[in-house]
């Protein structure tokens, strides 16, 4: 499932298809048109104050691997952020403070079928270098750790003052079966 398709109109209260605003009010969640991570004009989810989004009820097969990703840009913000799957923090708040402001980053995490299948691709990626940022980690989960047997919740949230702003683009959940785009493709789909 990808959140790069939007329903509703540009403005307050609009939302990406299949996603719901969380925390705060709809006024803290706005769809705007602006420059995205690939340098083109796209629809972005702008959040301020205590806002964010979630998707629930992604049906999963516990024998399979899933990848979750979202683009994030912080502007003039020292607020905390979290990236959660099944109410477990994947990318802890403190790590976000060292990210450069006004720059896009790709956040990636996985849910694996077993501990043996865990790789090291979870993390925060810099699109300019294409590399994972050193010293910042995002955790991975196994289906054993996931509380809900049939559904996952996927949440990105932000806690800051009313003048603190973050932008999100293209939240997605991919089944890892060889047909999903590579991380390189997500970082640069036009190469």
Q: Is the residue at 29 inside a domain?
A: no
Predicted confidence (pLDDT) per residue in 130-142, tens digit? 998 865 566 666 6
Is 162 part of a structural domain of the chain?
Answer: yes
Closest of 109, 87, 93, 129 to residue 171, by C-alpha: 109
Percentage of the chain lying above the pLDDT 90 cut: 14
Asked, for residue 158, whether it belongs to a domain, the answer is yes
Whether 24 contacts 30, CB under 8 Å = no
Alpha-carbon distance of 135 to 83, in angstroms, equals 17
pLDDT for res 21: 57
What is the DSSP pairing of strand 104-112 with strand 123-125?
antiparallel
Structural domain of residue 85, as residue ranges? 48-178
168 within a domain of the structure (yes/no) = yes
Asked, for residue 17, whether it belongs to a domain, the answer is no
How many structural domains does the chain have? 1
Maximum Cα–Cα distance across the chain? 45
Domain for residue 73, yes or no? yes
Whether residue 8 lies inside any domain: the answer is no
Band (171; pLDDT cuts 50, 70, 90): confident
Residue 7 covered by a domain: no
């Amino acid at each position: 499932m990808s959140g790069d398709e939007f329903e509703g109109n540009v403005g307050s209260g609009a939302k990406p298809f299949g996603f719901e605003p969380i925390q705060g009010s709809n006024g803290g969640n706005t769809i705007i048109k602006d420059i995205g991570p690939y340098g083109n004009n796209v629809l972005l989810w702008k959040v301020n104050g205590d806002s964010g989004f979630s998707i629930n009820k992604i049906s999963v097969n516990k024998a399979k691997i899933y990848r979750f990703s979202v683009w994030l840009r912080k502007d003039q913000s020292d607020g905390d952020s979290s990236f959660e799957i099944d109410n477990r923090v994947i990318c802890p708040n403190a790590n976000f403070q060292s990210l450069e402001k006004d720059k896009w980053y790709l956040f990636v995490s996985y849910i694996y079928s077993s501990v043996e299948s865990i790789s090291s691709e979870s993390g925060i990626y810099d699109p300019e270098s294409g590399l994972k940022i050193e010293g910042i980690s995002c955790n991975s989960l196994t289906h054993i750790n996931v509380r809900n047997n049939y559904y996952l919740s996927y949440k990105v949230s932000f806690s800051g003052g009313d003048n603190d702003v973050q932008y999100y683009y293209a939240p997605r959940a991919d089944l890892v079966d060889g047909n999903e785009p590579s991380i390189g493709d997500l970082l640069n789909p036009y190469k």
